[in-house]
Amino acid sequence: MNTQPVQFEAALTTFFMVKTSPEWLGFSFETRLSHARETFQPILDAFRGRVRLNWYDVEFYTAKISDIWMIEAKDHHSYQLFCEKLRETPFWDRFFLVHDIFPGELNAWAKNYEVEALQS
């Protein structure tokens, strides 16, 4: 399996604010890893080249959520299809409670005004 991220310019980035459920935390690490590999990974593989996931653990810093899923999509349709597939799994609102979804586009202001974005 190719684990290198596929490069594409994201048309949409969403930030999912999620919290682990007591059911998820009740599983052993091995069981959680197995669920992720058998359920979540095939969806990521099916959308390779169209959708990317970055998974941030934040439970060390806040009690409101435990993780942020940053999902970048090549186009809105791919994002919507990805979400539909994910919603059909226990990862959506069973293992992880989806609290908020924040969509955004990187440097949209610069694109809208046809100027170069700020650089760091």
49-106 pLDDT, tens per residue? 999 999 999 999 999 999 999 999 999 999 999 999 999 999 999 999 999 999 998 8
Question: What local confidence, expressed as pLDDT, does residue 7 receive?
Answer: 85
The CA distance from 53 to 13, in Å, is 10
Q: How far apart are CA 51 and CA 43, in angstroms?
A: 10
Distance CA 94, CA 24 (A): 8
The yes-or-no verdict on residue 4 having pLDDT over 70 is no
Domains of the chain in sequence order: 12-107 (3.30.70.1030)
Q: Write out pLDDT tens, residues 14-29.
A: 999 999 999 999 999 9
Residue 67: its pLDDT value, please?
98
How far apart CA 31 and CA 97 sit, in angstroms, is 18
The residues, any chain, with a CB within 8 Å of residue 1's CB and separated by 6 or more, are 45
**Amino acid at the residue 16:** F
Tell me how long the chain is: 120
